[in-house]
A and B are shown apart, each in its own frame.
Chain A
Amino acid sequence: MSAVLHAHPESGPALGVDAGKPRKVLSEAGQRGRWWRFTAILAITAIVLVPIVVTVLLAFTPGPNSTATGLTFENISNVFSKTLAATWLKNSLITTLATVIISVAVAAPAGYVLSRGRSKAVSGYSLLLFVMQSLPIITSVVPLFILFAGMGLVDNLMGLTIIYVGSTMTVATWMMAAYFDSIPISLEEASWIDGCSVFGSFTKVVLRNSLPGILSTAIFSFLLAWNDYLVAIVFLRSNEIFTLPMGVQSFFQQNATDWTSVMALAVIMMLPPVIVFATLNKYFSVGGIGGSLAGR
């Protein structure tokens, strides 16, 4: 067997194996320990989730002008019927998905170069990526707005997406580079011998074996774009173009805040990332962000 499969068990086709699973049948003491641990994690989770339970409960508690009693879906249905929540949800999904796709599309090739090409220019660029992203976004928003306004990219989801791609790209490139480092170059060498170009072997060989790396990069970009409001609040004007965090902001008025609507929208905002996490959980257990970076 070649070392290709052995050297890097976290990459390549061995995706379904759960390395953490004990193989022996658990002893009685092991069973008891298992339930102890279950109790411990249950208690910790319960404490950690108190602030979130508060949020969720409020989202389902009847508002001040409501006649409903007990818990109700009224607030949720109200934000959908009385505000543009559905549109905001759509905008958020579009912006976030576009950000995720484009940042992976930009970061993957760049990460490949950082991983494989170690000339001075390349490692200099790697450090530059690192350095440039440390300027806080609050000082960048105004100049960026002025620049983008000149190109007609304000109050517009495309402009927002470009900024999000720019802000996720640096970390995303790093994450991809780290993952590619864990892919043995012998895979590419084989394809080069078969007559593949550098680009061809990157797309056909390397990318195909990078699903965990791509997914973890995607998740990172997803959360950044999904939760941002500091950029959106300056770049978006029209109600119909708001993303969900902007929708939340719009419930904050001069003298009062519509908390039931804020919380209802917050619950709506929580769902997509939770669904994404729950679905992709199994991929994280093999590789994932840390695993891929650990391979560096």
Chain B
Amino acid sequence: MSAKSSIASPAFSRRGFLGFAAAAASAPLLAACGGGSASQGGGGGASGTVKFWDMPWATPAYNDAAKGIAEGFSGASGSKATYQTIQWNNFYQTFSSAIASKTGPAVSTGGGFQAFQFEQQGQIAYADKAIEKLKASGQFNDFLPGVLDPFKSDKGYVAVPWQLDMRVFWYRKSLFEKANVALPTDWPSLLEAGKALKKVGAFGFTTGAGAGNNYANHSMIMMMVNNGGGVFNKDGELDLLNDRNVEAMEFVLELVSNGIVDPAAVSYTTDNMSAQWKDGKAGFGLFQVNVPERVGDTSGDLLVADPLTGPHGDKATIVFPNNIMMYTNTPSQDASEEFLVYYLGQLKQLWQKKLMSALPVFKSITELPEFAGDPNNVKIVKDWQPIAKTFASQGNSLNANLAALDGGQALNQFSQTIITGKSDAKTALQAFQSGLESVLKK
């Protein structure tokens, strides 16, 4: 470790080469034991500057606004914050390598389950004290019901949610009129609507599973959850072969065999999918919040549908509660917490400026005229948010395994198998289950 600090010191040139070699030799050990006296000062300088890392959640205007908020922070003991945008591409590598080398952030947004992965590796600072501060200020009561619960672990709050990435059904009104069919309310009527839409050249279950596209994955899990099933049982154990999941997948396979899913959907990127919505090829399907904006069709023809009732009376969809996490490597934990509370308090600006394509977590923001002015938003908050469950369903609390489920190969192969109709439901679920078993940590 002394070798490492001598390298980082200005006296680099003279002892450079020896130190180089020593650092090369000692770095695996450092990586193994998690660092030590890293002179780089994780999370910022000694003056209490909080490093905040954020993702490109929307257009560059979003990052500019978020940067403005972060840099406006001024803590009680004179602490400040810096803002950094991290690209989505390979972000896990970026975070991991930064954290391992103690050059990571003190506070960050990131992948939906990233906080739980880094918690497992002992890098996360629990947010309980920040939650206390929110309670003291009264902002705690502003959270929409249930949004905090998934983040509570035995040891404390792993992260704090700041936006909800909802999956909801959308439809194109003019296509339903053209096909002369009613909006679906349950699964049989979804099948009927799909058949009718097909006759007018549109698809009744729009999705995609191409490079970098997770919507088919989300559609599969959503249909399971919509039928009261899910990847896990209530105790958090893998439970893919339950009857509800089998029934749900058999139904999706029926949609596939009736040509209600585009046969090329397996290769569609999100751009291909957006083009389908824009070009009137998509009649009905699962998508995100703010679809008209995303696909560039604000004619009012694209609308949020009603939640469907499953065969056993269940109503549900899935949601990804995106969250802000704090790391143990910080110049000052107090400053991190202070910053987190400050940032949550300023979030409404982002929705006021209409920069977000996700639901807010605070009731007060859903009541802002800029948000509530869009009837689609209102419908999502009123009809969809209350029935939204996480990827952990039927369980309740999020965990590190969900990261391997969300972007992993098992789910991707499974949904590709289903939407190409290449296998029956049970075989596909069986393969999915064994694929996950080999990856998930007990």
Number of interface residues of A (CB under 8 A): 31
- The answer to whether A31 has its CB under 8 Å from any CB of chain B is no
Partner of A143, one of B8, B31, B59, B288: B31
- C-alpha spacing A142/B97, complex, angstroms: 5
* A203 located at the interface, meaning its Cβ lies under 8 Å from any Cβ of chain B in the complex: no
B88: interface (CB < 8 Å): yes
Interface residues of B in 33-66 (CB under 8 A from A): 38, 40, 55-60
Alpha-carbon distance A230/B90, docked complex (angstroms): 8
The contact string, 1 if C-beta is below 8 Å from chain B, for chain A 236-269, is 0111000000100110111111110000000000
Residues of B within 8 A of A257 (CB): 271
**A142 to B30 alpha-carbon distance, docked (Å):** 13
Q: What 0/1 pattern do residues 66 to 87 of B give for CB contact below 8 A with A?
A: 0000000000000000001111
Interface string of B93-107 (1 = CB under 8 A from A): 110111011110000
Q: Tell me if B348 counts as interface (CB < 8 A to partner A).
A: no
Which segment, of A126-134, A148-156, A275-283, faces chain B?
Answer: A148-156
Interchain nearest-CB distance for A158 vs B (Å):
12
Contact at B57–A252, with CB atoms within 8 Å?
A: no
A234's contact among B8, B27, B84, B93, by CB below 8 Å, is which?
A: B93
Q: What number of A-B contacts does a CB cutoff of 8 Å give?
A: 99
**Residue among A64, A143, A146 facing the most chain B CB atoms (10 A cut-off):** A146
A258 to chain B, nearest CB (A): 8
A149 and B87 form a contact (CB under 8 A): no
Q: Is B58 touching A255 in the complex (CB atoms < 8 A)?
A: yes
Query: For B93, what are the chain A residues with a Cβ–Cβ distance below 8 Å?
Result: 141-142, 233-234
Pair B27/A146 contact, Cβ less than 8 Å: yes
Whether A150 pairs with B59 at a CB distance below 8 angstroms is no
Given known pairs A147-B24, A234-B90, A250-B87, the reply for A142 and B58 (CB within 8 Å) is: no
Choose one: A142, A151, A237, A253; the contact of B96 (CB below 8 Å). Answer: A142
* Interface of A toward B, CB cutoff 8 Å: 64, 83, 141-143, 145-147, 149-152, 154, 229-230, 233-234, 237-239, 246, 249-250, 252-259
A to B CB contacts below 8 Å, 19 in the list: A142-B97, A143-B28, A146-B97, A149-B103, A150-B8, A151-B20, A152-B8, A229-B89, A250-B60, A252-B87, A253-B58, A253-B59, A254-B58, A255-B58, A255-B288, A255-B357, A256-B58, A256-B59, A259-B271
Taking Cβ atoms with an 8 Å cutoff, the residues of B that contact A are: 4, 7-8, 12, 20, 23-24, 27-28, 30-31, 38, 40, 55-60, 84-90, 93-94, 96-98, 100-103, 270-271, 274, 288, 294, 296, 357
